[in-house]
Structure 1
Amino acid sequence: MNASPAPDPPITGAVARRVVGFLVFCELASGFTQGFYPPLLKDLAAHLAVTDADITWFLTVQSLAAAVCVPLLSKLGDLFGHRRLLRIAVVSVLVGTLVTALVPSYPLVLIGRVLVGPLSVWLPLEIALVHGRISGHSARRAIGLLVTFLMGGAILGTFTAGGISVFSPDLTLTMLVPVALVLVSMLVVFRLVPESPGRTATKIDFVGFAGIAVFMIAALVGLRGAGDAGFFAPAALIPLLVAVVVFVGWVLWELRTPSPAVDVRLVASRRMGPIYLAGLCFGMVTFGGQAQIATFMGSSPAREGYGFDATAGTIALVIGAITILSTVGAAMFSVLTARIGIRTVLLAGAALAGAGNLLVLPLHGSFGGYLLAAVVQGLGYGLLLGALPALLAELAPSGSTGIAAGVYNSLRTLGGALAGAIFAAILGASIAEGSGVVRIGGYSGIWVCCGAAFVVCFVALLLVPRETPATRASVEHADAEPDSRPKPTTDQ
């Protein structure tokens, strides 16, 4: 048997900081690209001569592609090297953004959007790269920076798209802006980022990965249909039933396979299960509840009896405030964990996020009260954004960090789709007969659901083992002796 090539040596000190800086730029470019396109959808529909209904597939196709490729590429990174798969993902996104910008045919643009799908696997692969070479509080700070710049990039991309579209003479030129950032990211990944030191020696479970892909696509299509027409409409019911059947068969297969695509027992274990459940609940609110912010704020007190008659600019300010505060929370989490422990930070994040959503119930009558609740939500979201993937990476078995982070990202996406369908059904059931107006009870039900999701999140995080003195010493020792990179231990 041929010996595998020797991995790059461990990195420490200034070299480690430079590598983290390179990866941080990649996440800035990733966030920028994700935030850049939504404000341009109306212009894109006119440019490509498609309807407003058709242009929704511009984002949906990328989401479906991400649902398929994130678990697969994350696992392949564990098997063959995280930098190698990150290179593949970056090249795919570069080609996809170029096709999106330069090709005037909508079917080909949708193919380009499929190629952009691997953008969602950048962060899991980067987290695995960080944990392959850095440990302790240094790793937590690095992951906090990655998440912070991802969020900051999304804010920057959104505002840049809005600003450039006003002054740019041509939409094609506007669409080339994210291409430039992705191109620089490709150069960074190919020239400046070292490979992760370890590999997982195992076979590839092609059946398992195919099962994940079919389940995720069927579930997301079914939940999209449920949001539009209700859970019992054929467009929702059929794919959801397919998803359930495939999921049951997939679990049985994974439990019997020697080298599964996903270690189901580990995902459901006391060690990892609470983090995944918390991520699912977190995704339900952050991904599934965005549309309701805009529709509630845009409602007119004179017509619906609630809302603020807010303009698009005002709505963007509130959503932007939540995002900015989330960015601040993600940046703060590593400093807080050094003082009070990562479990306490997670519980504080879930408590703040839940309180912020429940505060909307008594405060939604005034804009100031609504904004206060949004501030509390944003800080809680930020602590969870940074701390959840950081702890997940620490608890993941050696050689499985990539797939652990990939499954976490997929569960957040699935949670958002599930909540979107549930929230749409709640609002649909709350429409007053004859007027077509949604009663305030519909929005109250959504706020209660969001608060309840974070109650479940909080309870799940209570099951995370407490950091023992040995655990804390292990984390601090990892900072002092980065070459050894010990894994923090927790009580089972």
Structure 2
Amino acid sequence: MTTSDSALDTKSSKRLLAVVGFLVFVEFSSGFLQGYYVPLLDRIRDNLGVSDASIAWFITVQTLTAGVCVPILSKLGDIFGHRRMLRIAIITVLIGTVLVALAPSYPLVLLGRILSGPLAVWLPLELAIVHNQIKGETARRAIGMLISALTIGALIGSLAAGLFSSVLSSTAAQLLVPVVIVAISTIFVFTLVPESTVRTSPTIDWLGFILLALFMLALLAGINIVTATPVIGAVLVVAAVVLIVIFVWWELRTRVPALNMRLLTSNRLWPVYVTSFLFGMVLFGTQSITTTFLAGKPELVGYGFGLSAGVISLTTGANMLLAAVGAAIYSFIARATSLKGVLMVGSAVVALAQLLLIFGNASLVTVVVGIAFAGLGSGLLLGGLPAATAESSPADETGIATGVYNSVKTLGGALAGAVFAVVLGIFVIPEAGASSLGGYITIWVICAVATGICPILLSLIRSQDKGETHDQNAHQGENVYAAEAARPGEDTRPTTAL
């Protein structure tokens, strides 16, 4: 390595720490909140005196709100500034966590969870800030750091819930812990996080946003209740299909759309989005499946290993740690191969993990290896997919592009949750009140197929050539509004080749 190369690496590292250092803690806070509440649901239910069915809305309303918030706030970030929207989102979440901790009634607690919905948009807004401030390999390393912080935060949040539940006797005191974490992140966002400098057209497609919000609400609500109330759930899903058709029709005809459908369906992005959806099915849809399988008692249901909750938590914790490792190293693998190559390897590793579970589920060692592979492959995808999305998007549409990535991944998980519940119900053993092994194998087969076709889809990604980059820059220049003067010599190229 030459002296100039060494100086360049040092400069890049300093720039990376300046831009991402505090965002890492913000994203750690996001993961912490996502991991902290679930182990405390029983305590929250008992403290508020509500039923099991009612406490389920504690998670559901936050999911529904997140589905609406992510695309809208991401787009508004492109228009008004990503840090500005991040500030609004983090203040909203801070108010929500305070309500969850101190509200005297369950309706107010649910209001707090609704206000916590913008938690899901933190990452898309942070990614937009990163890609505005730094480029290339440094930006990829930054994304890996953010995703690793998110994953580790979720793990530590889950462990911290158990610790504080035993140390703090008051449920309110236990629920104030996230308030402290979010408050520290709020200080960082308001004082130390830089603002993005590129803006898209200030025209807001209000009708498009309304249609998109109604679509997300109808689809997520329908999927969530379809197993409990099939008729209402089916009606909501059909309504969502009608709404998305109307939305696409409108977006293709309006001058400044809420979502640039031509960009999102281009050969650079649609394989990434479809992969994100299919990966979301596996990532979110199998979390409870793995737990119940490991806990299954062979003498009663014919499968599983009868593991205790503590041992299961260690296994799932190892999965999350390997996901953090995968997210941290994806950029180094991409440098040696390509970003597309990382995504293909990551999805293939996740598919291999499902095959190990299908054919080796009688061996605890094989199952643990499969879970480990799933974690590592997931980490590569969690880091690589948002990086591919950001790099393939114009500089003034990075927020909405990464927001859509986050939304389609969530939709994949929601759909898988409903479908997998039906599958387990079909294979239920009446005497044991649990699914048979056939239900689990069916789910793993679905997951293997879903991730197995991803390398094929990703191979269709079309790299961008220089002429196309020039044309896109010229078109973007007509619609970009700078709220702040760009730094001299800053590289504002909107895309890079995968």
Q: TM-score, normalised by structure 1?
A: 0.92
Task: Map Cα deviations across residues 197-253 of structure 1 (whole Å, 9 max, x no partner).
Answer: 111124111111111111111111111123445xxx213211111111111111111
Q: Tell me the equivalent position of 2:271.
A: 274
Give matches, 1:33-48, under 5 Å.
Answer: 33-48=33-48
Q: Tell me the equivalent position of 1:316.
A: 313
Q: Is the partner of 1:302 in helix, strand or coil?
A: helix
Task: Map Cα deviations across residues 60-94 of structure 1 (whole Å, 9 max, x no partner).
Answer: 11100100111000000000000100000010011
Letter of the aligned partner of 1:237 in structure 2? Answer: A
Which 5+ residue runs of structure 2 have no aligned equivalent? Answer: 1-10, 469-487
Q: Is the partner of 1:79 in helix, strand or coil?
A: helix
The 3 A distance-change label for structure 1 pair 115 and 469 is same
Q: Tell me the equivalent position of 1:74.
A: 74
Q: Tell me the equivalent position of 1:486.
A: 493
Higher mean displacement: 124-133 or 195-204:
195-204
- Contact 2:32/2:154 (<8 A) preserved: yes
Q: Tell me the equivalent position of 2:163.
A: 163
For 1:455 and 1:115, the matched residues in 2 are separated by 37
The 3 A distance-change label for structure 1 pair 470 and 203 is closer
Give matches, 1:68-467, under 5 Å.
Answer: 68-228=68-228, 233-432=230-429, 436-465=433-462
- Contact 2:427/2:438 (<8 A) preserved: yes
Residue 167 of structure 1 and its aligned partner are, at CA, apart by 1.4
- Contact 2:267/2:461 (<8 A) preserved: yes
The 3 A distance-change label for structure 1 pair 299 and 205 is same
Letter of the aligned partner of 1:369 in structure 2? Answer: T
- Contact 1:134/1:485 (<8 A) preserved: no
For 2:431 and 2:176, the matched residues in 1 are separated by 47
For 1:256 and 1:234, the matched residues in 2 are separated by 34
Task: Map Cα deviations across residues 151-200 of structure 1 (whole Å, 9 max, x no partner).
Answer: 11111111001111011121111111111111111111111112101111
Residue 149 of structure 1 and its aligned partner are, at CA, apart by 0.2
Letter of the aligned partner of 2:63 in structure 1? Answer: S
Q: Tell me the equivalent position of 2:479.
A: none
Residue 465 of structure 1 and its aligned partner are, at CA, apart by 3.1
For 1:20 and 1:29, the matched residues in 2 are separated by 14
- Contact 1:205/1:259 (<8 A) preserved: yes
- Contact 2:393/2:495 (<8 A) preserved: no
- Contact 1:326/1:380 (<8 A) preserved: yes
Residue 42 of structure 1 and its aligned partner are, at CA, apart by 0.3
- Contact 1:135/1:487 (<8 A) preserved: no
For 1:289 and 1:382, the matched residues in 2 are separated by 15
Letter of the aligned partner of 2:62 in structure 1? Answer: Q
Residue 269 of structure 1 and its aligned partner are, at CA, apart by 1.6
Residue 484 of structure 1 and its aligned partner are, at CA, apart by 2.1
Higher mean displacement: 268-277 or 313-322:
313-322
Residue 397 of structure 1 and its aligned partner are, at CA, apart by 1.3
- Contact 2:80/2:202 (<8 A) preserved: no
Residue 25 of structure 1 and its aligned partner are, at CA, apart by 1.0
- Contact 1:341/1:467 (<8 A) preserved: no
Letter of the aligned partner of 1:180 in structure 2? Answer: V
Task: Map Cα deviations across residues 75-118 of structure 1 (whole Å, 9 max, x no partner).
Answer: 00000000100000010011000111111211000001011100
- Contact 2:275/2:454 (<8 A) preserved: yes
Higher mean displacement: 450-459 or 141-150:
450-459
The 3 A distance-change label for structure 1 pair 303 and 395 is same
Count of residues paired in the alignment: 469
Q: Is the partner of 1:327 in helix, strand or coil?
A: helix
For 2:183 and 2:432, the matched residues in 1 are separated by 51
- Contact 2:30/2:153 (<8 A) preserved: yes
Task: Map Cα deviations across residues 263-305 of structure 1 (whole Å, 9 max, x no partner).
Answer: 1222122111011001000111111111111221121100001
- Contact 1:136/1:488 (<8 A) preserved: no
RMSD: 1.9
Task: Map Cα deviations across residues 320-366 of structure 1 (whole Å, 9 max, x no partner).
Answer: 11111101100011111111111111111011011001110111102
The 3 A distance-change label for structure 1 pair 240 and 414 is same
Letter of the aligned partner of 1:377 in structure 2? Answer: A
For 1:306 and 1:13, the matched residues in 2 are separated by 50
For 2:273 and 2:102, the matched residues in 1 are separated by 39
Q: Is the partner of 1:197 in helix, strand or coil?
A: coil
Letter of the aligned partner of 1:149 in structure 2? Answer: A
For 1:47 and 1:274, the matched residues in 2 are separated by 46
Residue 485 of structure 1 and its aligned partner are, at CA, apart by 4.4
- Contact 2:427/2:435 (<8 A) preserved: yes
- Contact 2:93/2:119 (<8 A) preserved: yes
Amino-acid identity (%): 46
For 1:433 and 1:32, the matched residues in 2 are separated by 38
Q: Tell me the equivalent position of 1:4.
A: none
Q: Is the partner of 2:299 in helix, strand or coil?
A: coil
For 1:234 and 1:374, the matched residues in 2 are separated by 36
